[in-house]
Amino acid sequence: MSGRVAVVTGGTRGIGAASADALRQQGYRVAVTYYANEQAAQNFTGRTGIPAFRFDAANTAQCVAGVKKIVEALGPIEVLVNNAGITRDAMLHKMTSEQWNEVIQTNLTSCFNLCNVVVGPMRERGFGRIINIGSINGQTGQLGQTAYAAAKAGMHGFTVALAREGAARGVTANLIAPGYIDTDLVRTVPPEELVRIRTRIPVGRLGRADEIARAVTFLASDKAGFITGSTLTINGGQHMY
C-alpha cells in the first residue's frame, strides 16, 4: 500500500475517474479536481469516497489556491496526473480565437499551472511522479482538431523537458497517449463515424478507461523510477512507430 498523495485533474469522469479510483485501490490518498460538472463530482465522490476539489485548472491563481486546499486536507502531493481536457472542434478556417484559446488553456496551460505549483516541493522531497494524459491525435493530427492536436503535442514537449529537469531530483515525468477510449466524450461521436474508427483499430474495438488507469498506476509506482521522458501509446495498434 502506497499511502502517497495523488491528484488527478479532470478526475470525476472517464479516464480521470478510472485512474483516480485505480490509485485509491492501490492505497494512494487521492484527490480529484473538476470545474464544470458538479453532479458528476458528487456522484464520483459518493461512489468512491474520493474528495473532489472544484477549481479551474486553466487559471493560475485558482490552481495555487486549490492545491493549497488539497495539501491541507491530504498532505504533500507526490503524484500528479494531468488529465483535464476539452475539445472545441472546428476546421481551422472556421475556428475562433476563443475556441483556440480555451482548448490551449485547458489542455496545455493547465499542465504548467499544476506542475508549477507541485514540482518544487517534489524536488525538495526527492520524489515525484508526473503523468500527463495526451492523445493519439497529438501524434497523428485529426480533422477539425488543430487546437486539440497542438495542445496534446505541446504536452509531449513539455513532458520531456520537465523529465530532464526533474530526473536528478527523483521526479519523473511521462506521457500516456490514449487512442479512442470508450468514454462519454467518445460516445458523442456519430455512430457511423465510430464504426469507421473501429475499422482503423487493429484490435477491433475501443479501449477501456481501466486500461489507461493501469498504466497510470504503474508509472506512479516506485517500480517505474527508471522511466522518465517517455510516451506510452495505448491505442490498440491504431498508431505504431
Q: How would you list the strands of the sheet with 5-8, edge to edge?
A: 52-54, 29-34, 5-8, 79-82, 128-133, 171-178, 231-234
Q: Give the CATH number for residue 72.
A: 3.40.50.720
Residue 139 lies in a domain: yes
Residue 27 lies in a domain: yes
What is the rounded distance in angstroms from the CA atom of residue 94 to the CA atom of residue 110?
25
Residue 200: Cβ within 10 Å count: 12
Under 8 Å between Cβ of 200 and 178: no
The range of the structural domain enclosing residue 21 comes to 5-234
Give the model's pLDDT for residue 193: 85
Average pLDDT over residues 14-28: 98
Nearest alpha carbon to residue 67 among 121, 18, 23: 121
Residue 82 lies in a domain: yes
Average pLDDT over residues 156-175: 98
Residue 148 known to be catalytic: yes
Average pLDDT over residues 90-102: 97
Please give the grid coordinates belonging to residue 67. 492545491
Please, where are the H alpha helices in 37-190? Answer: 38-48, 60-74, 97-104, 110-125, 137-140, 146-166, 184-187
- Domains identified in the chain, total number: 1
- Of 4-18, 27-41, 181-195, least confident by mean pLDDT is 181-195
Q: pLDDT band at 241, cuts 50/70/90?
A: confident
Catalytic residue among 34, 35, 148, 180: 148
Q: pLDDT band at 213, cuts 50/70/90?
A: very high
Does the pLDDT at position 200 exceed 80? yes
Residue 172, class by beta-carbon neighbours within 10 Å (0-12 exposed, 13-18 middle, 19+ buried)? buried
Under 8 Å between Cβ of 36 and 58: no
Residue 234's φ and ψ, nearest 5 degrees, are: -130, 90
Residue 241 lies in a domain: no
Provide the whole-model pTM.
0.96
Give the model's pLDDT for residue 138: 95
Residue 92 lies in a domain: yes
DSSP 80: E
Residue 240 lies in a domain: no
Residue 215 lies in a domain: yes
Does the pLDDT at position 22 exceed 90? yes
Please report, rounded to a whole number, the percentage of residues in the chain having pLDDT higher than 70.
99
Residues ≥6 apart with Cβ < 8 Å to 25? none
Average pLDDT over residues 210-221: 98
User: How far are the Cα atoms of 10, 29, 204, 209, 212 from residue 198, in angstroms, in the given order?
Assistant: 26, 36, 6, 16, 18
Residue 131 lies in a domain: yes
Residues ≥6 apart with Cβ < 8 Å to 189? 197
Give the model's pLDDT for residue 2: 65
What's the number of CA atoms in the CB half-sphere (13 Å) around residue 133?
31
Under 8 Å between Cβ of 189 and 136: no
Give the model's pLDDT for residue 1: 47
- Summary mean pLDDT of the chain: 96
Residue 234, class by beta-carbon neighbours within 10 Å (0-12 exposed, 13-18 middle, 19+ buried)? middle
